[in-house]
Structure 1
Amino acid sequence: MASFGGFLYAAILLLLCIFHVDVVRGQSTHPTEANALNAIKGRLIDPMNNLKNWNRGDPCTSNWAGVTCSKIPSDAYLHVTKLEVFKMNLSGTLAPEVGLLSELNNLNFMWNNLTGNIPKEIGNISTLKLLNLNGNHLSGSIPDEIGYLENLKRLQIDQNKISGPIPKSFANLMSMEHLHMNNNSLSGKIPSELSKMPGLLHLLLDNNDLSGPLPPKLADTRSLKILQADNNNFSGSSIPSAYNSIKTLIKMSLRNCSLQGGIPDLSGLPGLGYLDLSWNQLTGSIPTNRLASNITTIDLSHNFLNGTIPANFSGLPNIQFLSIEANNIHGAVPLAIWSNLTYKGNGSLVLDFQNNSLDTIPDAFEPPKAVVLLLFGNPVCDASNAARAARLCQPTSVNKVPSGPQVSINCVACSTDKNYEYNPSSPIPCICAVPVGVGFRLKSPGISDFRPHKEVFEFNSTSQLGLSIYQLYIEEYIWEAGPRLNMNLKLFPNNTNLFTMSEVMRLRQLLAGWEITLPDVFGPYELLNFTYADEFPTVISSGLSKGALAGILVGTVTAAIAVSVASTVFIMRKRSINRTVSRRSLLSRFFVKVDGVRCFTFEEMARASNAFDDSAEVGQGGYGKVYKGKLADGTAVAIKRAHEDSLQGSMEFCTEIELLSRLHHRNLVSLIGYCDEQCEQMLVYEFMPNGTLRDHLSVISKRPLNFGQRLHIALGAAKGILYLHTEADPPIFHRDVKATNILLDSKFVAKVADFGLSKLAPVPDVEGTLPAHISTIVRGTPGYLDPEYILTHKLTEKSDVYSLGVVLLELLTGMKPIQFGKNIVREVKSAYRSGDIAGILDSRMSSCPPDCATRFLLLALKCCQNETDARPYMAEIVRELDGIRSVLPEEDLFSVNSTITGSSVTLGNSAPDSQAATTRELFNSLQASSSGQAYSGILSGTVSPR
C-alpha cells in the first residue's frame, strides 16, 4: 500500500487535471486546425495505435499525443503550435491540410515510415521555425514553396528518397541555420543562391547525386561552419580557392566527389578542425601553408598527390588522424610530426602513409606508444629496412574511431519493476533508479576519436540540460557511415529513484527542440529516441498565468484528502500502465538500432502478397521465394520469405536487420521492414519494377539495352559497392555480386541487393593488429567467385571487384558467367588474344562507340585478373566508368537520360545487324592498331591498375 504522501501526490495530479479542464472550459481548438488534424490522422497508418486519443475530444484540451497548443492574444481559440510525432512507427502520407496549422512553429515527423511527397502547402505556415521530416521514405522533389518560410531555422529532410534539384527559392530563407538534406537522391548543381542565407551554420548535402562545379559564391556566407558534400559527382570541378575566405568554417568534407585540380591554400581558415578530401582526383603537392592549430583530422588519401610530406603537418597539438594513403608522396618519413601532440583521455594519433613512395626512415626513429604509423606499400619497407620497419610495414586498415567500452557494476540486482537499474556514474553506489533513455547522434562531428573529447561532451551537455555530470551515463557510442557518432545515453535522477513527470518533459523538450548548444567540434546533433518507463501526458500551454496555476494548486491541496480513495484507484491503474509501457520501452530501445525499419506482422505480409499466392512470386533463390506485395498504404514492396531450411537464429536475424538498416545509398536496395513471427522470417524491400540486370541481358528480352544504358547501370552498381567498401562502418564485403543481384528501378537506376552472404570487413584496433582479410568458408555463386578467394579462403574487397568484373563482361557480351561449360572470363580473354573480340560482343547492343566500349572491356579485364593486387579498387572503377560516360557522344547520353526519365525509347530497331557489323569492324581495326596492342599487357598482368 502506498504512503499517504503518495495518495496526496496522486490526488494533486488528478485535481490539477480537473481544475485545468474547468479553467479552459469554453476554449477549444480553432475549428480549421481541428479539422486539419483529423485530415492528417486520416492519411496516416498507425499500427502501434500511438495516436489512439486523436479519436476523442478536442485536440488542445484532450491531450492529443504530440499536439501542443497555446492561446493567441485577442483570440478566443487555442492554436496548435507544435506537432511532434517523431518515432511513432507511423506510415502513410503527410496530408496537405497540414498547411492549415497557421500558428505552427515546430513540425516534427522524424523517424517514421512516411511515403509520398512533401506537401507544398507547408509553405503556407509562415510561423514555422523547425521542419523535421528526416528518416522517412518521402520521395518527389522539394517544393519551391518551402523557400519562402522566412522564419524557418532548421530544415531536416535527410535520409529520405527525395530527388530533383535544390530550389533556388532557398535564397529567401533568411533565418535558416541548419540545412540537412543528406542521404537522398538530389540532383543538379548546388545553387549559389544558398550563399544568401545570412545565418547558415551547417550545410549537409552528402550522399546525393549532385553534379556541376562547386559554387564559389558559398564563400560569401557569413556564418558557415560545416560544408559536407561527400559522395556526389562534381566531375571536372576543382575546390574553389575562394573557400579560403570562409573564416567561420570548421569542417570541410568533400570525400569521393570526382574533384580535380590541386588543394587550395586553406591557411585563411583559422578554425578549421576537420578536412576530408579523400577518394578524389586531386593532383599537385600538398600545400605548405600553416594549418589551424585545433585541426583533428586530415584525410587526403586516394588521390594523385605528389611531392613530400610538408612541414606544416608537424606541431599540430590536437591531430588525431592524418592519412595520405594511396598517393605518390616520396621522400622521408618525418620525425617530428608528433612532437607537439597533446595526449588526452587515452586518445591516439593515426598516421596512415601506406601505398606511397616514401623511401627513408630517419635515424633513431621510434614513434611513441600513442602513435600508430602505417607504412605498408612504400619502398621504405623493402628488405634492407625489414628489421627496423617490420612493425610499421604490415598491411592493414585502421579503425580510427573505436567504440566506447561497456561498464559492469557489482551490485545486487535491482527490481525489474519500472526498469530500475544502477547508475554507473553515481557517487553513491548501487542506487536503483529509472533512467531516461536517449538515442543521440552527432551528424557531422569534427573529430575522429571521441575519447579525448568525452569529458567536454559530458560537461557541456549536462550543464545545458540542468543536470549534474554524474546524472549522465554514456552507455555506448558507435561510429557509423558518414562518419557519424551514434550514442546511447542514459539520464538518471539526482540520486533518487524516479524523475518527476515535469522533469522528464523538460528534458524531452530541450532535446527534441534543439535547445541545447554543443561546442562546434561536435557539430549538429539529432534525437533518435527518447524513452522512459512511465507514460506522461503531452504538454499543453493554454496561456494560463503562473498565479492562476498556483491558486489551483492551493485549492487542490485542501481537497486532496477527500479524494484519497480515488487516488488509490489512480495509482493502481498507473502501475498497470507502467508495466505495459515498460514492455513497450524495450521495443523502443531495439528500434534505436534499426531506425526507419518497420516490424510487420505475419498477417500484414499475408495480406500484402495475397496469402503468398503463386501469382505474386517474382523470384526464388537459395534463401527462399520473393513475392511482390502491396502494403496497406499502397507501397509496392518485395517480400523475401525464408524457407524452413534457411531460417536463422533470432540474434543472427536481428544482426542482419541492423546491418541492412545502416545502409543508405541510392544504388543499394532499401530495407523497409521485416517479419519475425510464427516460425517465419521475412525481409521487406523496396520493389524494383524493372527486375534484375540478368533479365535485360537475356536473349528473350524484348527491349535490349544499348551501350549507354549498360554503362549507366554498371556505374550505378559500382557506386553501390563502393559505398559498402568505403562508407559503411565497418566496411562490408558483399560476397555475392552478380547480375541477378543488381536490380533496376522504374528509371533503370541500378541497385545492389541481397546481402545474405555479406561479411563485415575486419576492423583492427588502434595498434593495427588485425589482418586485412576474412578467413571464411568460400560462399558465392560459381562463375563470379574470385579465384584467389577459392584457393586461400581469404575474402577481401578485391573479391567483390572480381565479381563486378564478371558483371561488366556480361554487360558487354550478353553471355552468362558459365554457359554450356564455358567460362565468360576465359572466353573473353581467349577472344582478345586471338583478335576476335568483336565476335563475342552482344549483337543486340546498339549505340556502341568502339573507343568507349574498348575502355569498358579493358576495365572489366583488369577486374578479372587472377592476382588480387593486380585488380583496381572500387573507387578507381567508378572513376573510369565515369570517365567513359564523360566522353560518350551526346546522342548516346540522350538515350540514357530518356530511359531514366521514363520516356519511351526504341532500342535495337535501326538495322541491328548492320550496326553490329560496323561495331565489329571498328573493334577489329582498333585492336590491330598500335594503341590496341598496348592493351595486351592487361592479360599478362603487366599493366598497373592505377
Structure 2
Amino acid sequence: MGSTIWVLLLAFSVQIYITTATTDGRDYAALRSLTDEWQNLPPSWTGADPCGDSWVGIECTGSRVTSITLPNMNLVGELSGDIAMLSELQQLDLSFNRELTGPLPGSIGNLKKLKNLILVGCGFIGQIPYTIGSLPQLRFLSLNTNGFTGHIPPTIGNLSNLYWLDMADNQLEGPIPVSNGSTPGLDLLIHTKHFHFGKNKLSGTIPSKLFSSDMELIHVLFESNKLSGPLPSTLGLVQTLEVVRFDNNSLTGSLPLNLNNLTNVHELFLSNNKLSGPLPDLTGMTSLSTLHLSNNTFIPSDFPSWLESLTSLTIMYFPLYHQIFRAFDLVQDHAPMMGSIKLQGQVPTTFFELPHLQAVELESNQLNGTLVIGTSFTNQLQVVDLRNNKISEFNDAGYNFEIVLVDNPVCMETGKTDKYCQLPSRKSLYSTPQKNCVSGSCRSSQITSPTCTCAYPYTGTLLFRGYTFAELGNTAPYLSLEQALMKFFQTHQLPVETVSLSDPRKDQFQYLLLDLSVFPYGADSFNRSGISMLAFAFSNQTFKPPKEFFGPYVFNGDKYEHFLDDARKLKNSSTAIKIGAGVGALVFFLLLMLAGIYAYRQKMRAERANKNSNPFASWDSKKSFGDSPQLKGARCFPFDELKKYTNNFSDACDIGSGGYGKVYRGTLPTRELVAIKRAQQGSMQGGLEFKTEIELLSRVHHKNVVSLLGFCFERGEQILIYEYVANGSLGDSLSGKSGIRLDWARRLKVALGAARGLAYLHELANPPIIHRDVKSTNILLDERLNAKVADFGLSKPMGDSEKGHVTTQVKGTMGYLDPEYYMTQQLTEKSDVYSFGVVMLEIVTARKPIEHGKYIVREVATSMDKSTSLYNLQEILDPIIGLDTDTIPHGLENFVDLAMRCVEEARTDRPTMGEVVKEIENIMQVAGLNPNAESASSSATYEDANKGTPHHPYGSKI
C-alpha cells in the first residue's frame, strides 16, 4: 500500500511539474539548441523548465531568460546562432571556457536588449561580426584573449551606451576605424571609459579624429601593435585619461606638447617606438607615477630638470636598452637600439628626494661625474640602477636600498669588490605566508590554504596592464590586494575562506602577472554556482583592485575540475544504486505492475488530449502523405536533420530574411540544395493554421511555382523546406544586387513565367489560391532564369463558399498592395493582378514601388504620353533595357499598357491573370520571341486590422 502511494505521489508530482513549467517555449528551444552544441554541461541542466528548475547560470524574469553566466564551466563546442532567439537576454558571460570555439554568430546582433557581452579567455575565432554594432543597450563588450581576426568593426561606433570596450590579445589587424560620413567609428564612443586594444596587429597611423575633448576615456591601451606615424595631438584633449599605453609600436615624430594637459594620467608607456625630437617636458603631468620612454630616438640631453616637479613619480624607467627588471634577474628581452638616446651630465641629488620615488632605472646612458644620493632621499626608494654609464665617483653611505653601478668607471678598478659593483642576485619574491601548516597532510591533488585547510582552490592569473610600484618583492601591494579581495568576497557573500597570491613576475609586454588561488569556505571544493560567481566577479570587472598600486587588469581563470555538485551527484548516484540493489528485489514486481497500469492510463489520457490539441497527433510522419493532413510530395523533416543540413543554422548558410524569420541554404545527404525557411518568434501561426498551409502548398505543382518539399513542426519550431532556386530574386537582379543583367527579352520571359505561375494558382489549383504578397522579391530565378513564384506565408485559399471575394484582414506589402482591397478588406484574385502590374512597372523601370516618397504607378501615369515615342517615359525607363539594341525594345509600349490596366483602381477594370498571360505571349511573338522557349525594397510589409475608415494607401503623400 505504501509503495502504491509512493508511485501515485511520484506521478502526481511529475504532472504538477509539467503543468507549472514557466520558461517561455522559444527560450527553452534556444537553450536546448545550445545544449545540442555544448559538451560538459552543468548537471542541473535537465528538465523542461530552465527558469523553474534553477539551471546553473540561467536567470529569468518571469518566464523569459534574461541572463546566461557560465564562466569557467569547461564548456566545449560552439555558440549556436539560435542564441538570437533569447530576445529578452540582457547578459551573456561565457568567459574562461577555452574550448568554446568557432566564429561568433552574426545573429548575436538580434539581441537588442543585451547589456553585457563578456567572452574573455575563450577560443573564438574568425571576424567579429559587424552586427555587433546593432546592440543599442550594450555597456560591456569584452572579447579579449580569443583568436579573433580581421578588422575592428566600425559599427562598434554605434554603441552609444558602451562603457567598457576590450578587444586586447587577439589577432585583429588593419587601421583603427573612425567615422566618415555615414560610416561610424570609435571616435563616436564619447561616453566609453575604456579602450583596450593591446596585443593585436593593428596597423597604420593613429587617426587624429580618434580623440576629442568630448570623450570621457580613462584607459587608452594600444600597446604591442604595428601602429606607425606620430602620436596625434588630439590625445592631449582627453583630460579624463589616467592610463596611456602606446609602447611596442613603430610610432615616429615628436611627442605633442599638449601632453602636459593630461593632469590625471598616472601611467604613461611610450617605450620601444621610433619617437624623435627633444625629450618632452612633462611638467604639467602632476599625477604621473610611472614613466616609460626607453628605446626611442630622442635627441641627447642633460638630465631633465622637469623630472623633479613630478612629485607623484614612482618609477623612472629610461634605459637605452629595454630590459625587464634586470635587478631581480628575471627574464630579459634586449630590444635593438633605436638611435643614440643618451642622457648626459649628473643626476641631481634633489631628484632622489621625490616623495614617492621607488625605482630609478637609467641603464646605458652617458650620465657622468659623481653620484650623490645624499641623506634626504625618500624612504620608499628601493633600487637605483645606473649600470653602463660614465659615473666616476660614488660615496657609499651604507644605503639600505639596492644600487647598481656595474660597467661604470667607478667600478672598473682592478679588484673592486663593493656591493654596488656586482650584479644583484635574485631576491625571494612574494607568496602569501601559511600559518605553520604541516606539510604532506593533504591528499596529493589538494592544496594547503594559508589557514592550513586542504582544498581544491579556484586558481588563475591576474594580469595587470598598469602598476605603480617597483620592487616585486615588496609585500605592501600584495597585502593590500589580498585584503581588497577578501573584503569584496565577504561583502558579496561569496563562499570564500581565504586567498593566496604568489609568483609576481613581469613579461615581455611589461605586464605584471600574479598567481591567485581562492579557497572555498565550509567545503573542500566549490560548486558550479560558486565558480560562476567568482569568475563573473573578474570577467565583469566587478572586483576593483587597490587603485594606489594597480591599474587595469584582466583575469585568466584556470580550468576547474572538482565541482562539489558533480562530486555529490556521483556519490549520491552510487549510494542510490546500492540502496536500490538491496530493496529492489522486494518491491520490483509490485512497482512494475502499478507503474505499468498508471503509465497505460496516462498514455491513453495524453493521447486523447494530444489528439484534441495537436493537429499532427494522429499523423504518421514517416509517410510522404496520409489521411491527415493530405500531403502530396512533402514530408516531415526532423529538426536535428535540418540543423545538420544548415551547419546548425549558421550565418554562412543565411540567404535571406524578413518579418517571418530567416531562409537558410541547406544540403541534403543526396547533395540536393534546399531553401529552409525558419519562422521566428512573433511570426509563427497556430498549429492548425500551419498544418493547413503545408497541406495546401503540398498540392501546388507547377514549373513556375516554387515547390514545397517538406516541413518541420518540432520543439516549437515552424520550418518549411522548399526547392532551392539558385539565382536569387527578380528584385535582386533589377537592383544589380545579384550581378545578373536582364535584357528586354529576358525580362519578358521572366514576366511571362511569373504570370503563368499566378494564373495556375488562381485557375487550376484546388482550391484556388490568392498569393496576397506578389512582389519582385517573391519571384525567384532558377539557374536558367526561369521565374518561380515563392513565399506563400500570406496566401489565402478560396473555398466554394467564397467565390467572388473573401472579407479578411488586410495583409501584403505597401507599394504592391491593391488599394481597393485596402479600402474594402475584400480580397479577390484581382488583388494579385494589381500587385503583378506593379512588378511589371518595376521590370521596365528597375525602380522600387515607393522610392523617395514617389509611387511608381503615379509616376508612370503622370509621365505617360501615348502620342510620343516610348510614351515619353525615357527618364523613368531602365537604360539597361536598350543596351543591346539601337532601336526601341519591341513591345515595350504594349507591355506598359498592360501593366497600367493591371493597376486600375477598380478591380472590374483589371484583366485576369489568364488574360495577362495571353497578352504577354502576344507581345513576345510580335517581338520575334518564342514564349515557350527555355531561357537561359524599401517597401514595408503591411498587416493591419484597418479599424475605422481607411484612407487610400497611395494618396498624394506617402
Structure with more relative contact order (C-alpha pairs < 8 Å, separation 6 or more) = 1
| TM-score (ref. length: structure 1) | 0.48
| TM-score (ref. length: structure 2) | 0.48
Bigger share in helix: 1
